[in-house]
């Protein structure tokens, strides 16, 4: 339960949020009735219509155009297994066309879990007395970072609860601390953020310390469901405030923003269209779409019945479909598949869903990396994860399937973000950077952190294969990558195109 001071902070902030909402400069882009009717109208689509949309999605991969809502409504109604195989094949083709056959790796880091909200699906809701909340001290944060960099990680997404103790100033201080920590040759080079919606001036505070992407999930785009699972007297209870969180972030000068929905709260088909309308609104208002899209499913959380009893829980079969559709409808965006899912399903969805980013070596308890041997600490976690493989094990499995593991942060470090990044992704040329930089960061991992079996498969198979790809497609880059690989072998690090 909340203390008196926490309640006062929440009420003061809630009043400020309400005032902003009354003067919101943007119109709600979600029309519930329109989306529901569209899905119903497109039932039983003609085979040729589906094939035409698939062909259109392939063309869009070279232009960055989004599918239309009508197109997505057709795809969510496909029943023919053969057509689904065509959709899966296209998702993989588009991902490889835009980004190449590489998987970007990162780890989530929960820094604080106290929260003034009371969301029905969240283990960290303030009325859940069976989960222990915690905020890392700076010393504890350093310990977590040393574990993460000690395993070879270079990219993080940091997670904060919505609470007075984890405001924008605290976020900025912790991110500065993360960047300052060196662990031998290890360091974190890109910090993405998953946190509450902020005001423009607060976003500027966070942006000033050099973040990557700012991520806010709407959770559900369906207005009645949103209000049902987010009590009205909480900060998260204001739909419009959250809906335009990333508009304000872009307004504040943050280059890259990321959207997502929590699948299982409402009909997955509706949520897919909600994500599309969100991406369309960002494109319309700022000319920069979502840098990534995430699609977590409800997972078990201690003392949180909705996670198991929701009537809208998504089956594995439907989950594969929605992941693939996301790749077809937003060809340029990064597609993030998290450790909420089982290892076998994650590997299958790289191929069938066009996934481009995944977390690995994941622990989501606050302070969980310091207790790495414990795969789960249920009373300290927001939910339970299903993929607890170590980073090295995860990388080995990727290599066995011929994927290139990448820790690349080069675009962020070279200013290829926001409207400088989008043309590269939208015209399917960014992979010319992605493959070369992926090779360079993977080589770092092989030199500094890899187990013998990963080192062997990496040096004998993966690096040569992708150098050959560079020779065939971007020979000038191939020559430069070989020069930089030699520098890495001589002890230099952070080499990139």
Residue with tokens 């009508």: 70
491 three-class SS: coil
DSSP output for 274-298: HHHHHHHHHHHHHS---SEEE-PBP
Q: What percent of the chain has pLDDT over 70?
A: 100
What confidence tens digit (pLDDT) does each residue in 268-296 have? 999 999 999 999 999 999 999 999 999 99
Please tell me the distance from the alpha carbon of residue 174 to that of residue 102, in angstroms, as a whole number: 30
> Which among 392, 418, 444 is the end of a domain?
418
Q: Tell me, yes or no, whether 414 and 437 share the same domain.
A: no
- Residue 218: inside a domain: yes
Mean pLDDT of 86-94: 98
Q: Tell me, yes or no, whether 459 and 386 share the same domain.
A: no
Residue with tokens 């990139």: 496
Confidence of residue 149 (pLDDT cuts 50, 70, 90): very high
Reading the block at residue 330, the tokens are 């937003």
Other C-beta atoms closer than 10 Å to the C-beta of 217 total 18
- Residue 55: inside a domain: no
What confidence tens digit (pLDDT) does each residue in 378-406 have? 999 999 999 999 999 999 999 999 999 99
pLDDT attached to residue 419: 87
Q: Tell me, yes or no, whether 100 and 241 share the same domain.
A: yes
User: Three-state SS string across 352-376, please?
Assistant: HHCCCEEECCCCCCCCHHHHCCCCC
Residue with the larger pLDDT of the pair 26 and 410: 26
Residue with the larger pLDDT of the pair 459 and 428: 459
- Residue 202: inside a domain: yes
Residue 165, pLDDT > 90, answer yes
Q: How far is CA 209 from the centre of its chain?
A: 20
Residue 119 near residue 358, CB atoms below 8 Å = no
pTM of the entire predicted model: 0.97
471, with CB counted inside 10 A (0-12, 13-18, 19+), is middle
pLDDT attached to residue 413: 81
- Residue 110: inside a domain: yes
Q: Which residues contact 205 (CB under 8 A, 6 or more apart)?
A: 168, 169, 171, 172
Residue 72 near residue 273, CB atoms below 8 Å = yes
Please tell me the distance from the alpha carbon of residue 304 to that of residue 197, in angstroms, as a whole number: 24
Q: Tell me, yes or no, whether 377 and 464 share the same domain.
A: no
Please tell me the distance from the alpha carbon of residue 403 to that of residue 389, in angstroms, as a whole number: 17
pLDDT attached to residue 182: 97
> Which among 386, 418, 450 is the end of a domain?
418
Q: Tell me, yes or no, whether 170 and 200 share the same domain.
A: yes
Please tell me the distance from the alpha carbon of residue 138 to that of residue 166, in angstroms, as a whole number: 13
- Name the nearest CA neighbour of 331 among 64, 86, 14: 64
Mean pLDDT of 471-478: 95
- Residue 294: inside a domain: yes
- Residue 426: inside a domain: no
Q: Tell me, yes or no, whether 395 and 344 share the same domain.
A: yes
Type and span of the H or E element at 256:
strand 256-260
Please tell me the distance from the alpha carbon of residue 206 to that of residue 478, in angstroms, as a whole number: 37
Residue 35, pLDDT > 90, answer yes
* Mean pLDDT of all residues belonging to the chain: 97
Residue 202 near residue 182, CB atoms below 8 Å = no
CA distances from 411 to 135, 256, 354, 462 (A): 31, 11, 21, 22
Q: Tell me, yes or no, whether 368 and 305 share the same domain.
A: yes
Q: Tell me, yes or no, whether 384 and 448 share the same domain.
A: no
Q: H-type helices in 220-267, by residue range?
A: 223-229, 239-243, 245-251
Q: Tell me, yes or no, whether 145 and 196 share the same domain.
A: yes
Q: Tell me, yes or no, whether 179 and 134 share the same domain.
A: yes
Mean pLDDT of 145-173: 98
Domain tally for the chain? Answer: 2
Q: Tell me, yes or no, whether 388 and 329 share the same domain.
A: yes
Residue 19, pLDDT > 90, answer yes
Q: Tell me, yes or no, whether 411 and 435 share the same domain.
A: no
Confidence of residue 1 (pLDDT cuts 50, 70, 90): confident
- Residue 142: inside a domain: yes
What confidence tens digit (pLDDT) does each residue in 212-259 have? 999 999 999 999 999 999 999 999 999 999 999 999 999 999 999 999
Cα angle 455, 458, 460 (rounded to 5 degrees) comes to 100
> Which among 369, 387, 418 is the end of a domain?
418
Instruction: Put residue 415 in one of left, alpha, beta given phi > 0 → left and psi -120 to 50 → alpha.
Output: left
Residue 332 near residue 82, CB atoms below 8 Å = no
- Residue 61: inside a domain: no
Question: Beta-strand (E) ranges in 173-249?
Answer: 190-194, 213-215
CATH number at residue 288: 3.20.20.70
pLDDT attached to residue 313: 98
What confidence tens digit (pLDDT) does each residue in 291-319 have? 999 999 999 999 999 999 999 999 999 99
Residue 412, pLDDT > 90, answer no
DSSP output for 108-172: EEE-B---S---TT-TT-TT-TTS---B--HHHHHHHHHHHHHHT--EEEEE--SSGGGSHHHHH
pLDDT attached to residue 137: 98
Find the domain containing 440 and state its range.
431-489
Residue 186 near residue 447, CB atoms below 8 Å = no
């Amino acid at each position: 339960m909340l203390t008196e001071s926490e309640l006062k902070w929440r009420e003061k902030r809630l009043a400020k949020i309400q005032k902003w909402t009354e003067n919101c400069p943007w119109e709600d882009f979600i029309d519930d009735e329109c989306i529901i009717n569209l899905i119903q109208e497109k039932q039983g689509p003609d085979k040729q219509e589906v094939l035409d949309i698939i062909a259109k999605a392939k063309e869009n991969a070279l232009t960055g155009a989004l599918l239309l809502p009508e197109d997505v409504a057709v795809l969510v109604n496909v029943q023919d297994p053969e057509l689904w195989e065509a959709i899966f094949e296209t998702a993989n083709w588009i991902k490889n066309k835009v980004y190449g056959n590489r998987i970007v790796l990162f780890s989530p880091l929960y820094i604080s879990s106290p929260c003034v909200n009371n969301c029905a699906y969240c283990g960290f809701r303030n009325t859940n007395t069976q989960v222990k909340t915690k905020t890392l001290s700076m010393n504890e944060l350093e310990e977590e970072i040393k574990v993460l960099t000690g395993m070879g990680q270079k990219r993080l997404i940091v997670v904060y609860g919505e609470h007075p103790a984890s405001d924008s100033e605290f976020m900025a201080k912790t991110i500065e601390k993360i960047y300052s920590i060196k662990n031998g040759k290890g360091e974190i080079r890109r910090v993405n953020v998953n946190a509450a919606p902020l005001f423009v001036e607060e976003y500027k505070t966070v942006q000033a310390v050099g973040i990557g992407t700012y991520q806010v999930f709407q959770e559900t785009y369906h207005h009645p469901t949103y209000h049902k699972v987010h009590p009205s007297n909480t900060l998260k209870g204001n739909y419009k405030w959250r809906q335009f969180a990333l508009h304000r972030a872009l307004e504040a000068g943050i280059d890259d923003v990321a959207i997502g929905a929590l699948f299982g709260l409402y009909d997955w088909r509706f949520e897919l269209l909600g994500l599309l309308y969100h991406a369309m609104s960002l494109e319309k208002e700022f000319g920069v779409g979502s840098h990534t899209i995430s699609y977590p499913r409800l997972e078990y959380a201690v003392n949180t019945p909705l996670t198991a009893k929701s009537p809208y829980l998504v089956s594995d079969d439907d989950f594969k479909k929605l992941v693939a559709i996301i790749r077809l409808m937003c060809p340029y965006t990064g597609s993030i598949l998290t450790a909420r899912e089982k290892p076998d399903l994650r590997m299958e969805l790289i191929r069938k869903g066009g996934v481009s980013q995944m977390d690995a070596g994941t622990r989501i308890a606050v302070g969980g990396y310091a207790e790495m041997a414990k795969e789960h600490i249920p009373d300290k976690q927001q939910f339970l994860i299903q993929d607890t493989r170590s980073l090295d094990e995860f990388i080995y499995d990727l290599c066995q399937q011929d994927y290139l593991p990448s820790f690349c942060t080069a675009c962020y470090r070279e200013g290829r973000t926001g409207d400088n990044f989008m043309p590269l992704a939208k015209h399917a040329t960014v992979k010319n950077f992605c493959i070369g930089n992926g090779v360079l960061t993977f080589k770092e991992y092989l030199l500094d952190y890899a187990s013998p079996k990963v080192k062997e498969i990496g040096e004998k198979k993966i690096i040569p294969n992708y150098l050959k790809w560079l020779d065939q497609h971007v020979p000038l880059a191939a020559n430069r990558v070989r020069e930089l690989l030699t520098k890495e072998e001589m002890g230099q690090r952070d080499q990139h195109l």
